Amino acid sequence: MTAPVSTVLIRGTGLLGTSIGLGLRARGTTVLLHDPSPSAQAVAQDIGAGRAYPVDAAGVLIHDDGPSPEVVIVAAPPDVTGQVVVDSLRRFPAAVVMDIASVKVQIAADVAEAVSEGTITAQDAARYVGTHPMAGRERSGPVAARGALFTAAPWVVCPNEHTAPEAVESAEQLARALGATVYRMGAEEHDASVALISHLPQIAASLVASRLQETPAGSLALAGNGLRDTTRIAASDPQLWVQILSANAPQIVEILYGVREDLNRLIGTMEQPTAPGSRLDIAQLIAEGNAGQARIPGKHGAPPQAFAVVTVLVDDTPGQIAAVLADVGEAGVNVEDLRMDHSAGYEVGMLEISVVPGHKQELTDALTARGWKVV
C-alpha cells in the first residue's frame, strides 16, 4: 500500500482523530498528534495512532526540524473546529487543512470571517477543505478508535468556490485511502442532509428514550426489537451532541417545525379518537411514514430491496449460529443481512437470515435437510 500522504498532523485525538491516525499509520504515513488533553493524547499514542507533535511549555505547537505536515486534519470538538482550522492555516502555510466536523456551514463561515478580519489571507483559505466522514459509534474517545472505522463508510467532501482543486484532491485521496467512499456536495446541502438523516433520528431516539426514565421495570420487560431499534442511538454522548445540534440549529429547527405540526395533528386526533376523520388522520401519518421509510436505500447504496428472510431457531449455546451459517455457506447462498431476534425470558433465539428472494426456497430446503428448524 502506498501512503496517501507522507506526513499528517492530526489535531484532536478523540474517536475519529485517533481512528484516522491508526488507519494512516497502517498505510505508511507518518502521523503526528496533538490534543489539548494530555491524557487523550497519551492514549492515542499508546494504541499506536502516531507520535506527539512538539509543543512549548504553554502547550502551543512549535516548529522543530522534524518533517512538516502536508495535511493537517482538524478533529477537534465541533465548537472549536473553526478556530483550530484558522490557526492551522496560519501556522502551516504550505499544508492542506481539512476538518472532519459533522456540520459544515459554520466552519466555512469561520474561515471566511478570518479572511475578512485579516487573520489569514484568501490564499490561505483556498487550502481549507471541509469534510465529514459518516462514521461513528455510540461510544466515544480514543479507546473506542479503530483504523478500519471508515471502511465502507461515506465521507462527504464539501469544497466551495474558493477551494483549491489540489486541496480537494488531497482530502479525497486521504478519505479513499482509509477505505471510505467519497461524496462531494456543497456545505449547505450537506448540513440539510445530515439534519434529516442523522440529527433528526438522534433527537427522536432521545425523545422516546427520555419517556422511559420512570417506566416500571415490569413494563420494560415486554420491550422488543421495535423499542430497542428506535432508541439505540439515544445512548450517544450529550457533550458531543450539544455541539452538533447547536451548530446545525437553523437546519434542524425547520425540520422540527414539520415534526411538531404532525405531532400536534396527531395529538388533536387522539384527544378525540371517535371524531369524524380522526382515523383518516392517523392512517395518513402511518402511510406517510411508510412512504418515507421506503425511500431509504439498502445495502451498498443499492435501491431498497425486499430481501427474503429465512428464520432459523437456534439454541443459545456456543457454535450454534456458526453451525447454521456454515451450512448456509455450503449451500452457496450469500447472506445479505443477519439479525438475532431477542426476547425476554427464553434461552432460544431466532436467527433471521436475509437472502435475495430467488434463493429463499433453496436455502430453506438446504437447512431443513441438514436438520435445522426453519420457521
9-38 residues near a second copy, rule: CB under 8 A: none
Window 256 to 295, contacts with a second copy (CB under 8 A): 256-260, 262-264, 266-267, 270-271, 273-274, 278-279, 282-295
Binds a second copy by CB under 8 A, chosen from 9, 252, 366, 367: 252
- How many beta carbons lie within 10 A of that of residue 317, not counting itself? 9
Nearest-angstrom CA–CA distance, 338 and 329: 13
The reply on whether position 201 binds a second copy by CB under 8 A is: yes
Shortest reach from residue 68's CB to a second copy, in Å: 31
- Is the CB of residue 24 less than 8 Å from the CB of residue 175? no
Q: Which stretch binds a second copy (CB under 8 A): 70-78, 86-94, 159-167, 218-226?
A: 218-226
Packed helices 249-271 and 200-210: angle between N→C axes, nearest 10 degrees? 50
Window 176 to 195, contacts with a second copy (CB under 8 A): 179, 181, 183, 185, 189, 192-194
The reply on whether position 116 binds a second copy by CB under 8 A is: no
SS3 state of residue 178: coil
The reply on whether position 356 binds a second copy by CB under 8 A is: no
Shortest reach from residue 309's CB to a second copy, in Å: 9
- Grid cell digits, residue 214: 420512570
Shortest reach from residue 237's CB to a second copy, in Å: 8
How far are the Cα atoms of 126, 156, 187 from residue 184, in angstroms, in the given order?
17, 6, 10
Window 148 to 167, contacts with a second copy (CB under 8 A): 148-149, 151-154, 156
Binds a second copy by CB under 8 A, chosen from 47, 134, 164, 308: 134
The reply on whether position 119 binds a second copy by CB under 8 A is: no
- Single-letter residue type at 197: I
The reply on whether position 61 binds a second copy by CB under 8 A is: no
DSSP secondary structure, 250-263, as one string: HHHHHHHHHHHHHH
The reply on whether position 369 binds a second copy by CB under 8 A is: no
Nearest-angstrom CA–CA distance, 302 and 282: 31
Residue closer to a second copy, measured from CB, 97 or 105: 105
> Counting Cβ atoms within 10 Å, is residue 181 exposed (0-12), middle (13-18) or buried (19+)?
middle
The reply on whether position 1 binds a second copy by CB under 8 A is: no
Residue closer to a second copy, measured from CB, 39 or 151: 151
Packed helices 38-46 and 15-26: angle between N→C axes, nearest 10 degrees? 30
Window 291 to 330, contacts with a second copy (CB under 8 A): 291-301, 311, 313, 316-323, 325-330
SS3 state of residue 9: strand
